[in-house]
Amino acid sequence: MLGLFVLFALCCNKDDGKDVIKQGNGYIWLSGGLIYCAEQIHLDNGDTLIVSLEKNKLLKSGDRVALSYKELAVSEFCSPGIDCEVIKIKTVK
């Protein structure tokens, strides 16, 4: 019985990494006509983040940014993109 309890406790305490806030630098890419994948950030490490920039209307395609973000899931519509929530973003030179 004790063994089952320990096994259960170990399985339930796994950190799935979804609450991890990551940081990165990259470039804004905005599409004028796509329903999905219209707002992306292409990170320097090669990842493509699918984001919503509705709170940051001053950003435009080609802007270099530094950001903090949380990964939500692999994008269903924009493979190989990653759906993300932007926590903090600022333009950099």
Question: Can you give the pTM of this predicted structure?
Answer: 0.75
What confidence tens digit (pLDDT) does each residue in 30-61 have? 987 667 788 999 999 999 999 988 888 889 99
Tokens of 55: 């709170």
Answer whether 29's CB lies under 8 Å from 65's CB: no
Helix segments in the chain, DSSP class H? 2-12
DSSP-derived letter for residue 32 is S
pLDDT tier, 16 (very low <50, low <70, confident <90, very high otherwise): low
The CA-atom distances, in angstroms, between 51 and each of 3, 61, 78 are 44, 13, 11
